[in-house]
Every structure is written in structure tokens, then in C-alpha cells.
Amino acid sequence: MTDPSGNNSPPATNFMPLADPAMLSVEQMGFISSVRMLEAEVRESTLSGEQVKAAVADLFPPAVLFGTDIATLPYAHRELRKWLDGHGANLQQHSSHRVIMTLATSLYVDPEDRVAANQLASDLVAAGRRVGASAVASQPSSPARRGDASSTAGDRTAHNIAMRFRDASSKFSGNLGEAWMEYVAEYQQVARDYDLSQEQRFQYMHNILSGDAKRFYLDRVQSYATSFSQAVDMVSTEYNSIVRQNRVKNYLVGYRMSTLLSDGVTEAAALEQTYKTITKLAPQVPRSHQGDAHKVEFLRSAVVGSPWATEPLSRIATHGLTFQQLYGELEAALHLHKGA
């Protein structure tokens, strides 16, 4: 894009200069201000179009850019697309694409973000078709709508939920060492903090998923489940199959504390992590291996060979130690060993 003098510099005008702050929510004003701040940085540097795209993608995760609050800001996505192209992004728009889908398919490089962006953008387009051609992204909001406290609060809640589960460690990816219901329990606690209804819990559930589990959820659950509890059950069924149960069992059978020690973990920390791993994964093994005796055997196999563990292990058969008792005796024996 060239200015009147013929230079290839970005335009000097602010992004969405006619936007009236009095008509905007906090999130909408933050969106506009963030783009304007980025615009100032672009003017002072030599960022390429791809770098500008990457900067926008970093500023606005899919859950924010395609959230309800931004979607109801008149012309927001259209103006962002024009702004990006004006700074060298050259977004490729298919003839059948709406602007919002162009942003979703062109803006994000990370595969997980791209999947989420496409899903959220598709939902907005579908919602627009249901309520009218431009009710979601194009129709100007009236002062009464912008002043609707419940609408603004709902948009803010959606953003807050996305931020609470932004870290990869807070998301269930379907890896073998992860327990689905633990992530659900954490999500339920956050849902209680924000007083989410069952419908809202279902609506925001995608925030606790990543990787293969999120792809499964978007492809096989979100469009078919009719409630939060059904969605939880569908994910649970997928990640608690007989095949997976046997994989978890084999994982625990072969689990060794020595592997943690070789990675530089202290013995005390390794023992605690071993205990927590068995506790977390034991409910996911086949029903035939879910008894306390099996957890005792998993723990025995994990620590066997450690000199300080010999005496507690010898008491398993003679004293009928439970899993909790064995862990307590191993912890005490290790403490005495270190003291000696």
C-alpha cells in the first residue's frame, strides 16, 4: 500500500479512527488500542508482512479474536484484514470465504491455534446465518446493546476462562500420563468460581483441551453432544478405551523410580512423584487391575532395587500392607537412610 507521496510506508492513520470509546466495551477498546500500539511499532521498524501477522496472532489468541465481544464490534474483522494487507500481510481470500474465515485460515501458524480459529470462526458464521446476514460481525451495535451489562459480562467471562487455561500444562492432550477427569475437576472448580451455567460450561469446554484430544473434541464431540455432561462422557469414552486401559497398565508395570533419578531428581522427590503417578493413573487401568493390591505391586516394582526400600518391601506379605501404608513406610525408610 502506498501513501500519496508514492512511498511504500504504512498509512499514518490510526486503526479504526472513528470508533467511539463511549460505545465500546473494555475488551473492544483494548482490541483497538492493541492494534494501534502495534501500528506505532511497525512505523518505527522494518517488520515484514509475515512478522506483522505473527505479532497479531500473538496479541489475539483465537478465543479472543473470534470471541463474542470482538465479533459484535462493527466491522472489526473487516478492518483488521484491511489493516494487515496494508502492512504487507497479503492475506489470500478465497472467493467463497467471508473475511472472518480468511483471518482464521491465514493468520495462525500453530496447528492447534489454526484448528481452534477455524472452529470458532465457523461458529460465528453459522450464528450469523441463523440470526441475519450481518447480526454477528457487521451490524452496528446500538447504545442499548453496548450497555447491556449481562452481554458484556458474558464476553468478559469467555475471555477470562480462555486466559485461565492458556498454559499448555492446564490442558488435556490425551497423552498417556494424563487423567482426563482431573482436568475436568479443575475446570469444574473454575466454573464454580465464575458461576457458569451448565450451558456455559459446555460452551467454554474447548479451553481445557489441546493436541489430539482437542482435534477429537472439535471433530467428534462439539457438534454432536447436547450437554456438558454428555461431552465429558464422550471424551472419557474415547480416552478410556480397553486398548488405552491396557496401555496405562503396561506403563505402570514398567514404571521405575530409577528413571527419575537418572534425570537428576532427588530420591525423595522421585518417590513422591512415583506415588502420585500411580495414584493418578490407577483408576484408568482395566477393572481387573484396579484393586489396592495392584497399586501395591506397581509401587513395589517401581522402587525395588533401592537398598533403603528392602525392609519395607519385605513387610508387604507378612503385614498385608496397603498401598498407602507401603508408601508411608517407604517414605520413613528413605528419611532414616538419608539421616544415617
DSSP 46-106: ---HHHHHHHHHHHS-HHHHTSHHHHTSTTHHHHHHHHHHHTT------TT--HHHHHHHH
Quickly state the pLDDT bin for 153 (edges 50, 70, 90).
Answer: low
User: Looking at residues 110-117, what average pLDDT do you find?
Assistant: 80
Average pLDDT over residues 41-60: 84
Question: Which range, of 12-16, 174-178, 282-286, averages the lowest pLDDT?
Answer: 12-16
Residue 256 in this model has a pLDDT that exceeds 60: yes
Nearest in space to 69 (alpha carbons), one of 160, 133, 132:
160
Q: What is the pLDDT of residue 301?
A: 96
pLDDT average, residue stretch 225-249: 91
pLDDT of 8 above 60? no
Query: Would you say 255 and 301 are in contact if contact means Cβ atoms under 8 Å apart?
Result: yes
Mean pLDDT score, 227-245: 91
Q: Per-residue pLDDT averaged across 36-46, rounded?
A: 82
| Banded model confidence at residue 336, pLDDT cuts 50, 70, 90 | very high
Tell me the mean pLDDT in the region 207-235: 91
Average pLDDT for 32-47: 83
pTM to 2 decimal places:
0.48
Domain boundaries, the chain: 1-144, 165-240, 245-339
The whole-number pLDDT of residue 154 equals 61
Question: How large is the average pLDDT for residues 146-161?
Answer: 67
Cell numbers for 131: 440470526
Reduced to 3 states (helix: H, G, I; strand: E, B; else coil), residue 124 is helix
Band of residue 2 on the pLDDT scale cut at 50, 70, 90: very low
pLDDT in tens, 277-319: 999 899 889 989 989 999 999 999 999 999 999 999 999 999 9
Ranking 133-142, 214-223, 302-311 by mean pLDDT, the lowest is 133-142
Q: For the chain, give the mean pLDDT.
A: 83
H-helix or E-strand spanning residue 130: helix 111-131
What does the pLDDT read at residue 152?
61
In this predicted structure, the answer to whether residue 329 has a pLDDT above a threshold of 60 is yes
Return the pLDDT at 137: 37
Name the 3-class secondary structure at 209.
strand
The pLDDT of residue 90 is above 50: yes
Alpha-carbon gap, residue 334 to 321, rounded angstroms: 17
Residue 7's pLDDT is 47
| Range 231-239 average pLDDT | 92
- Which residue in the block uniquely carries the three cell numbers 480416552? 239
> In percent, how much of the chain has pLDDT > 70?
86
How far is the C-alpha of 31 from the C-alpha of 76, rounded, in Å? 9
Does 10 score more than 50 pLDDT?
A: no
Tell me which residue has cell 483497538. 32
pLDDT for the residue numbered 92: 65
pLDDT at 275 over 80: yes
* Predicted pLDDT at 6: 46
